[in-house]
Chain A
Amino acid sequence: KEKHKILHQLLQNSTS
């Protein structure tokens, strides 16, 4: 998870 911090974050963000 740490390795894919940004991708993880993008997936968490609610769909804009």
Chain B
Amino acid sequence: GPNNVSMGELDRIAQNIIKSHLETCQYTTEELQQLAWQTHSYEEVKMYQSKPRDVLWQQCAIQITHAIQYVVEFAKRISGFMELCQNDQILLLKSGCLEVVLVRMCRAFNPLNNTVLFEGKYGGMQMFKALGCDDLVSAVFDFAKSLCSLQLTEEEIALFSAAVLISTDRPWLMEPRKVQKLQEKIYFALQHIMQKNHMDEDALAKLISRIPTLSALCTLHTEELQAFQQLHPETVNVLFPPLYKELFN
């Protein structure tokens, strides 16, 4: 294998990450398939649209925080993650957890009608109108659609999520070499699986080219949160989940 990593080791890494992913997804593939055509009714969408801005922001913050807790659990189960120093574990999660949530979101996105699973049913972009950040919402939907177009398998989503999380691009890592070694193995495993699954030789390159968009979305989210907080400081301080504030504030 590449860089003296044996195929056996790559396979072990892949299996561990796939298992960790499947054990920590909020919904199984079967559950998502069953829900795929259960969409919020016109009245329900209207109800979301007529909510006060801060109420919908709070609801979204709660959903995101919930999803992030599963991502933390995912990270903990990846062999090698808990062997990193605590500083780096926290740093990688702080900077990468929302990116992983966005990658995972493509599982709960229906590209045929551009809807996403939110509070039990699927709904389109217009459902989030009251947030007052159409740019962010439409960028997130575009991203989900573009990731769906790559038709990734559950295994590829698992390995890609791990590759996004365990990244040497994060500033202030204390043991970047250790992170790099782990990341390289994950990429080799991802490459191996993608070569097996896709006729398209550029599939991996296409997938990797989505990473800058992920990071741009997270920056946009932080900016929108700051703008929102200026107008509704009490909502953020009192009503937002503590973990969300800790990560993004």
Given A15-B77, A16-B73, do A7 and B243 touch, yes or no (CB 8 Å)?
yes
Contacts of B86 in A (CB 8 A): 1, 8, 11
A10 to B243, CA, bound (A): 10
Q: Does B32 contact A (CB under 8 A)?
A: no
> CA of A3 to CA of B247 in the docked complex: distance in angstroms?
9
Given contacts A11-B72, A11-B76, A16-B73, contact A6 B242 (CB under 8 A): yes
Q: Which of B55-110 contact A (CB under 8 A)?
A: 69, 72-73, 76-77, 82, 86, 89-90, 93-94
CB-CB under 8 A for A4 and B73, given A11-B86, A11-B89: no
Interface size (B, Cβ < 8 Å)? 15
Main SS class of interface, B: helix
| A7 / chain B contacts, CB cutoff of 8 Å | 72, 90, 93-94, 243, 246-247
New contact pairs (9) apart from A4-B246, A10-B69, A15-B73, CB-CB < 8 Å:
A6-B242, A6-B243, A6-B246, A7-B72, A7-B90, A7-B93, A7-B94, A10-B72, A11-B93
Residues of chain A within 8 A of B90, CB atoms compared = 1, 4, 7-8, 11
Q: Which residues of A contact B69 (CB under 8 A)?
A: 10
Residues on B with C-beta less than 8 A from A4 are: 90, 94, 246
Residues of B within 8 A of A3 (CB): 246
Q: Note all chain A residues with C-beta closer than 8 A to B243.
A: 6-7, 10
List 8 interface pairs A-B (beta carbons < 8 Å), by A numbering: A4-B94, A6-B243, A7-B72, A7-B246, A8-B90, A10-B69, A15-B73, A15-B77
User: Which of chain A's residues have a CB closer than 8 A to the CB of B242?
Assistant: 6
